[in-house]
Chains A and B, each alone.
Chain A
Amino acid sequence: MRLVWAVRRNSYFDSIDLMRVAEQARQLAGVAEVAVVMGSPPGRAMLAAAGMWPAEAPEAGPSDLLISVRASTEAVANRALASVEELLSASRAAQHVIADRLPRTTAAAARGAAATNVALIAVPGAYAAVEAHQALSAGLHVFLFSDGVSMADEVALKRRARDRGLLVMGPECGTAIINGVGLGFANRVRRGPIGVIGASGTGIQELTTLVHRLGGGISHAIGTGGRDLQAAVGGLTTLQGVAALGADPGTRALLIVSKPSAPQTADAVLRAAGETRKPIVACLLGYDGATPPGVHTAATLEEAAITAVKLVAGSVRALERPRAPASGARGAILGFFAGGTLRDEARRLVGDAPPHRFVDFGGEEYTRGRPHPIIDPSQRNAAIVAAGDDADVSVLLLDLVLGDCAHADPAGALRPALAEARARRRGRDLAVVAHVVGTDEDPQGLERQEEELRKLGVIVCASNRIAAETARAIAEGRDVV
């Protein structure tokens, strides 16, 4: 073992720098120990205690750098000494730049963000309540896209939100339009005086796009989540939404849409709506209770949209209806939907009895662990191909949903599936009836999508109701008028 040492006069370094450099030099092969310290009394004492500062070394002061190396040979020790000098003089330029870190929790993201007022949450249901509660703690409204949130969590979230003057839109809230901004699966619609509150995502999309087609406009559309009007929840979000739209100076009429609900809850909502003293249109599926004065009821989404537009504008553009003579496609309707409410409405209009079948590909059984058909229609398209083999089926009834978060070209994605399904028909007719939920302002463009469908031989309808009735006429062998 050889001990080699050096003194560098008047070269002050931070002790941490020195420890770092010593540690690096210690890694050289054959080096037993490296000490690099300033020559202050504690530094010298430390070297002496470690047996690394010989008595013959010169005096040193606090601004002198002492370097001492013990190594197997003198050559190795000298190399280590040189490496210490090199390390100390080496440029300390940053070796890497750390990318901007995203916050890991809603709580952290919401903190200190003055201009933030809403959290959009779309994480697996088991974890969604935590994030939503964090948003409420931070004073944010919540748009809760996640499904699979327990009823108890939903009630707890909504009660807490109500007490804080915050809205929880969801869980399982597909869409909302707040102040002209679409959240989730929303369409670009004209702004106007009609406020929408709905427990159904695609129901709201159908309503808002129909209002747009009819020449009207939307102030806000508040999604509530599918269970809001169930007795356990008691319409907490719907009631808050009714009050908020009632007080909103930009809203002149309210349009309320809901899935089947608890009668007493629907009563309470209609009562609250009546108290806003604004015209109300209600499309409450399955509701047969009394309707307070000032509340117009509508049996279909289309009727609701038309009524609302008439109420605020006095008149309304007419929706076009397709015309076609009776075809040979008499038989069963296969309704394949991306929107649950659209499926339900079509089923109600056609009648549920076999041989007709209506499937919601946005239902939980199809979306668990997979993207929603509005984003990725491949599951539905595969089912369309398979339907080509089904000899009983003569009419395919479809919805195509446009909007910011939807598939970039749903009509284009349908083309190969339809071609394959028809190829499998072996000459028998297959009528295809579709309604496109969208507007000319959506990124996909309503006209472009409708035109593409017509090129595929699809009978394009202006509303879900018209599509269902058209499909029914074809299936019954009647003329479409």
Chain B
Amino acid sequence: MSSEAELLRDPLGAVVVGPELFASALGAQGVPVRRVDWQPPSVAGGLSSLWCDAVDAANRVTLDRILGAHQVLIDVRPAIDVVPGLTRETVLHAGPPIAWERMSGPMRGGIVGALIYEGLAATWQDAERLVTSGAIRFDPCHHHATVGPMAGATTASMPVLVVENRTAGNRAYSTINEGLGKVLRYGAYAPDVIDRLRWFRDIVGPAFGEAVRRAGGVDLRALIGQAVQMGDECHNRNRAASALLIKALAPEIAALDLAASERRRVLAFAASNEHLFLNVGMAACKAALDAAHGVPDSTIVTAMARNGTDFGIRVGGLGDRWFTGPAQMPEGLYFPGFSAGDANPDIGDSAITETAGLGGFAMGGAPAVVQFVGGTPADALEYTRRMYEITLGESAAYRLPALDFRGTPTGIDVRLVVQTGILPQIDTGMAHREPGVGQVGAGLVKPPRVCFDRAFEALVQARASAGSAPRRA
């Protein structure tokens, strides 16, 4: 039966976009009505060309791939062995592409630390000479199926988590989280930071890898779903997820062929690191979004990332282009001894969590996080509710008890962002603007609007040329 016939047969249910008069007239006739709080779009034109069947179909495929991803942590391996396109002279970094000259303090610190760790330099001056000589290639983690929090510095000998998306077969990678305080990802490069990375390389990485393999992998889709119901949003709050991860791996770590003191040290490190899961979750999000990227005509955002100077987004149907704008200053709370003047602009690939429906988008299930900006649990729910305005789907795996187990808002649509002017809500840590200091606080941040405006223009242009070009086969 055609849909016209259904209209004439079924009871009416209406969305009303316009005067209250029309809504109340329908209500008076017993029709269920959903009103729209309509306001003129915050963009001049071009929107209607992007609401078409081609874009609908592309977004459906994109969304299905994001929501359908089944991520499993399958291994921990040296980056050089698994990360595509990595060489000994490459330093991967967070965010969109950037040259050394424009890098912020923590980004430079992270890179210098990575070069020292790899034995390519001994001091800051050494490293700077090496970098300016052109011997080192910089490239975004995102270009190598990898994501890194904060500076995101990733090099050949670092052990990386290997996450497989069983649905699409692709893999994504991320380093092991170092914990809080003075750590490489915040641009710290002191000897104790380097020592910890070497311990990761020699002991923790191989131990985790063996434990993961013996455990037959860790189902991250299920684990994240569980953690979300335990109060995590898996960006600024990873307590439950980290505990669940340790729970899964501890029996295998306990059985490793390793000195008892080392096994204890590995477990103690894992247990003391509340953000142990952050990098695991990020790789899981990356694995889902990489599988979804590259569908022509898709208007869904497949990456949001910051390098401490620029904020960049990528869009499913716009290939490997980045659409960038200036990284913003987070708003939040500072650790003792630090204040707003110490913070670096927004940095890190961790906004991949929001891109996949976690982080700020799942704040309604993690009300503790909203206190960074003095909010209440009601505010936390409101942050999440607002994100449904700019997303096309709802997660089947991540459900929020406080919203009657509604799935988290997932699949940021550039069209809806530019129409409503509502920007994605990102939870974030804050790095000190000077290299070597570390984390100074945590809070909330938004992308600069211009990223979405630029992506929108590109989408409209792409649509226009698709419309005028000869019909594709």
Contacts and interface: CB of A to CB of B under 8 A. Distances in A.
Given A102-B37, A117-B13, A153-B48, A130 B419 contact: yes
Nearest to B237: A16
Contacts of A131: 17, 36, 38
Contacts of A124: 40
A160 B53 contact: yes
Interface in A134-157: 134-137, 139-141, 145-146, 153, 156
Interface residues of B, number: 74
A101 B389 CA distance: 10
17 contacts: A16-B368, A19-B372, A19-B442, A23-B334, A104-B37, A105-B419, A107-B392, A116-B32, A122-B22, A137-B56, A160-B52, A165-B3, A167-B7, A179-B8, A183-B22, A219-B8, A244-B7
Contacts of B10: 117, 179
Contacts of A134: 51
Interface in B47-79: 47-48, 51-53, 56
A192 to B, nearest CB: 14
B416 to A, nearest CB: 6
A189 interface: no
Nearest to A243: B4
B4 A16 contact: no
Given A50-B336, A139-B3, A145-B22, 14 more contacts: A42-B179, A94-B378, A95-B376, A97-B378, A98-B379, A101-B382, A105-B36, A115-B13, A117-B7, A119-B14, A120-B15, A121-B17, A123-B38, A244-B4
B469 to A, nearest CB: 17
Contacts of A35: 336-337
Interface string A43-86: 00111011110000000000000001000000000000000000
A163 B15 CA distance: 22
B35 interface: yes
A101 B385 CA distance: 8
Interface of A: 14, 16-17, 19-20, 22-23, 33-35, 37, 42, 45-47, 49-52, 68, 92, 94-98, 101-113, 115-124, 127, 129-131, 133-137, 139-141, 145-146, 153, 156, 160, 163-167, 178-184, 219-220, 240-241, 243-245, 247-248, 250, 375, 404-405
A122 B16 CA distance: 8
B347 to A, nearest CB: 20
Given A94-B377, A133-B51, A109 B15 contact: yes
B15 A405 contact: no
Given A106-B36, A130-B47, A122 B17 contact: yes
B371 interface: yes
Central interface residue in B5, B179, B369, by most chain A CB within 10 Å: B5
Contacts of A180: 29
B162 to A, nearest CB: 29
Nearest to A179: B12
A97 B376 CA distance: 10
| 8 pairs of A and B residues whose beta carbons are closest in the complex | A122-B18, A35-B336, A133-B51, A50-B337, A165-B3, A404-B25, A102-B37, A19-B333
B18 A127 contact: no
A33 B376 contact: no
B6 interface: yes
Interface in B366-397: 368-369, 371-372, 374, 376-379, 381-382, 385-386, 388-389, 392, 394
Contacts of A165: 2-4
A117 B12 contact: yes
B11 interface: yes
Given A160-B52, A167-B4, A122 B19 contact: yes
Contacts of A117: 6-7, 10, 12-14
B389 A104 contact: yes
Contacts of A92: 376
Interface string B232-272: 00000000000000000000000000000000000000001
B51 A130 contact: yes
A46 B335 contact: yes
Given A42-B180, A50-B336, A145-B18, A107 B416 contact: yes
B359 interface: no
A154 to B, nearest CB: 11
A42 B182 CA distance: 10
Nearest to A113: B34
B17 A33 contact: no
A104 B386 CA distance: 9
Contacts of A130: 41, 47-48, 51, 419
B135 interface: no
Nearest to A100: B385
Central interface residue in B3, B51, B420, by most chain A CB within 10 Å: B51
Contacts of B125: none
A102 B20 CA distance: 13
A426 to B, nearest CB: 40
Contacts of B272: 42
Nearest to A40: B272
A139 B179 CA distance: 48
Nearest to B406: A112
B447 interface: no
Contact of A244 (B8, B30, B376, B388): B8
A68 B7 CA distance: 68
Given A103-B37, A129-B48, A123 B377 contact: no
Interface in B191-250: none
A135 B15 contact: yes
Contact of A133 (B38, B48, B382, B385): B48
B122 interface: no
B441 interface: yes
Contacts of B368: 14, 16-17
B345 to A, nearest CB: 20
B26 interface: yes
A37 B336 contact: yes
A161 to B, nearest CB: 10
B378 A52 contact: no
Contacts of B14: 116-120, 183
A23 B340 CA distance: 12
A123 B35 CA distance: 13
A18 to B, nearest CB: 9
A400 to B, nearest CB: 18
A102 B16 CA distance: 11
Nearest to B393: A111
B249 to A, nearest CB: 22
B29 A98 contact: no
Nearest to B231: A14
A404 B15 contact: no
A45 B382 contact: no
Given A120-B16, A248-B5, A103 B336 contact: no
